[in-house]
Amino acid sequence: MIEFLSVQSTALIDWSRAQFALTAGYHWLFVPLTLGLAVVMAVMETLYYVKKDEFWKRTAQFWMKLFGINFAIGVATGIILEFEFGTNWSNYSWFVGDIFGAPLAIEGILAFFMEATFIAVMFFGWNKVSRGFHLASTWLTGIGATLSAWWILVANSWMQHPVGMEFNPETVRNEMMDFFAVAFSPVAVVKFFHSVLSGWMTGAFFVIGVSCWYLLKRRETKFALESIKVGIAVAIVAVIGVMVTGDTSGIQAAKYQPMKLAAAEGLENGGPGAPFSVVPGIEVPKVLSILATHDIEGHVPGINDLLYGYTTPDGEHHPSAEEKIKRGKEALAAFKQFRATMKTDPATAAEARKKLDENVEFFGYGYLDKPEDLVPPVPIVYWAFRIMVGLGGALALLLALLIWHQWKGTLADKRWLLWLGILGIPAVYLAGQAGWVVAEVGRQPWAIQDLLPVDAAISSLSVANVVTTFFIFLVLFTILLIVEIRIMLKAIKKGPDFA
C-alpha cells in the first residue's frame, strides 16, 4: 500500500516543514538579486554598446562580478531544494509528480542550460567575441534566469491553485490533462510577474544602496551617481509592477485561497464591506472589500465563515469545513474500496469509483481531523503581510526621495538620504522574505491547495534523520551566506576598475 494513505508523526511533519522552509528561505536570499542584477548589468552594457564609452563597460563589469558571486552560491541552494521533493516529500512527488515534475524538467533542460551557456560568454568573452554578441549573451543570461524563474513559479503556482489535471485512482496519481492550463494559469502569470519584479526591486535597491555607500565615502562619485540613475529607472518599473500584480494577487487569493486572505487580515467574521486592519485595533472601513473584490460592498468571508459555512448575498452557499471533511473521508473510503476490489470485483469497484468521483474535490480534506486544522498560523501570516506591505511602502517613499534629489542634483550632499539608501538593502530583502511567508505559511495546512495536506505529503523517514540534515543545512547555508557577504564586501570595498 502506498505511503500517503497514512499520516506521519507530528514531529516528523514539523521538522520536515522546518527543513524545507530553511532551504527555501536561504534560496530566496540569492534568487531575487540574480534576477535584479541581471537587468541592471544588461542595461549598463547596452549603454556601453550604444555610447561606446569605456566607463559603462567598466561599470557593467563591476556589477557582473557581484552577480557572479551571488549566482554561484544561489545555484547550490536551489539544487538542494529540488532534491528535497524526492527525499522529504516523496508522497507528494508520487501523487502529483506527473504534473509538478514537468515545469521543473523544462526549467532544467531549457532555461538553466540556456543561462549556464551564455553566462560563460558574458564573463569570459569580453575580448573574444564582438560587442554585439557579448551584449546578446548578457541579455540572454538574464532571460535564462527569468525563464528559469517562470517554470519554478509555474510549479509553485500550481500548488496554490491546482488546474489542468485529473485524479486516476488506478495509479493513485494526479495526471496532467492540459499542459497549457498548468503553464499559463492566471495565478502562475501573476505570481511570475510579482516575484520577478520583486527581484528587480531587490537588484535595483542593492545597486542604489552600494552606490550610496560610495557617495558617503566620497569615492567613485561618477560611477555611483550613474549607477543610481540606472537603479532608479529599474526600481520605478519594478515598484509600479509589484503594486499592480500585488493587487491582482489579492483578488486571486480572495477567489482561490480565502483562508489565506482571512488569516492575512486577522478577519474572524467577514461579510460585505469588510474593513482592512492596519494593525490590531485600527481598521479602515470597507477597504478590504475594495482590495479583495474591487467592490466597496464586496463579500469577503472571515475565518469563522470558512470554518462553519456561509452564504453570499447572491445566494451562493459555501459548505462548512466539517462538511468538506466528511465528504473527504467518504472519498478516501471509496478510494480504498476501489483499490481493494478493482481487480477482483468490477461491479463493487465501479460503484466505489462513482462515489469517489462524486467527492473527489474534497479528497484532501479526508486527511484532516477537525475544522480548525484548516486555519494557518494567523499571527505569523498577519504580521508578515504587514511587514511586506509596510516595507514596500517605505521603499516606494525612499525611491521618490531619491528621484527628487537626483533630479535636483543634491543627492551626494544628503548624507541622511544616503544612509537610508543603504538601509534599503536589508529592507527590500526583508519585504521579499515576508511575502513568501504570506504565500507559503498562509497556504497551510495544504501542500497543494484543497488537494493534499502537508501531513500526507511527507516521506516516511526517521525524525532523527530529518533533524540531523536540518542542522547540517543550517550550518552549510549559513557558511555559504557568510562567504558570499564577505566576498561581496571585499569586491565592493575594492570598487570598480577604471584603470
| Residue 498 grid coordinates | 577604471
> In the chain, helix, strand, coil percent, each to 5?
75, 5, 20
C-alpha–C-alpha distance, residues 290 and 285, integer Å: 10
**d(C-alpha 214, C-alpha 181), whole Å:** 48
* Contact by Cβ (8 Å): 492, 213: yes
Minimal CA–CA distance to 403: which of 241, 242, 237, 247? Answer: 237
Which string of b and e fits 382-404 if b means at least 16 CB within 10 Å? bbbbbbbbbbbebbbebbeebbe
Distances from the Cα of 48 to the Cα of 30, 60, 235, angstroms: 27, 8, 20
Which of 496, 499, 497 lies closest to 213, judged by CA?
Answer: 496
Per DSSP bridges, beta strands 173-176 and 282-284 are: unpaired
Is the Cβ–Cβ distance between 380 and 437 less than 8 Å?
Answer: yes
* Number of C-beta neighbours around residue 21 at 10 A: 15
Q: pTM surpassing 0.85?
A: yes
What is d(CA 118, CA 71) in angstroms, rounded to the nearest whole number?
13
Judged by DSSP in three states, 175 sits in strand
Residue-level pLDDT, tens digit, the chain, 499 residues: 344 445 567 889 899 999 999 999 998 899 999 999 999 999 999 999 999 999 999 999 999 999 998 887 887 777 888 888 888 888 888 888 888 888 888 887 777 777 778 888 999 999 899 999 999 999 999 998 898 889 999 999 999 999 999 999 888 888 999 999 999 999 999 999 999 999 999 999 999 999 999 999 999 999 999 999 999 999 999 999 999 999 999 999 999 999 999 999 999 999 999 999 999 989 999 999 999 999 999 999 999 999 999 998 888 899 999 999 999 999 999 999 999 998 899 999 999 999 999 999 999 999 998 999 999 999 999 999 999 999 999 999 999 999 999 999 999 999 999 999 999 999 999 999 999 999 999 999 999 999 999 988 888 888 899 999 999 999 999 998 999 999 999 999 999 987 6
127 Cβ contact partners less than 8 Å away, ≥ 6 residues apart: none
List C-alpha distances in Å: 93 to 86, 99, 422, 452, 483.
Answer: 6, 9, 42, 11, 33
d(CA 399, CA 232) in angstroms, rounded, equals 7
State residue 3's pLDDT score. Answer: 43
User: CA-to-CA distance for 363 and 366, rounded, in angstroms?
Assistant: 6
Q: Round the CA-based radius of gyration of the chain to a whole number and report it.
A: 25
CA–CA distance from 155 to each of 60, 111, 363, 457 (Å)?
33, 14, 21, 16
